[in-house]
C-alpha cells in the first residue's frame, strides 16, 4: 500500500512543495523587500 501511495505522491508532493516555496518567497519579496527597496530608492528611509 505504501508503494502505490509513494508512486502517486512523490511527483505531486515535490511539485507542490516547490510551488509553496516559490509562493512564500514571492510573498516575502512583495511584502517586505520591495517596499524597503522602494523607500530607500526614494530617500524615504
Q: Tens of pLDDT along 6-15?
A: 555 688 899 9
Phi, psi of 32 (to 5 degrees): -115, -55
Q: Containing domain of residue 23, as a range?
A: 1-45
Which pTM was predicted? 0.59
35 CA to centre of own chain: 18
Specify the pLDDT at position 19. Answer: 97
Spatial distance between the Cα atoms of 11 and 1, rounded to a whole number of angstroms: 17
- Number of folded domains that form the chain: 1
Average pLDDT taken over every residue of the chain:
84
Amino acid at each position: 500500500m505504501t508503494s502505490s501511495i509513494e508512486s502517486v505522491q512523490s511527483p505531486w508532493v515535490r511539485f507542490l512543495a516547490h510551488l509553496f516555496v516559490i509562493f512564500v518567497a514571492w510573498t516575502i519579496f512583495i511584502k517586505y523587500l520591495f517596499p524597503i527597496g522602494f523607500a530607500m530608492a526614494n530617500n524615504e528611509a
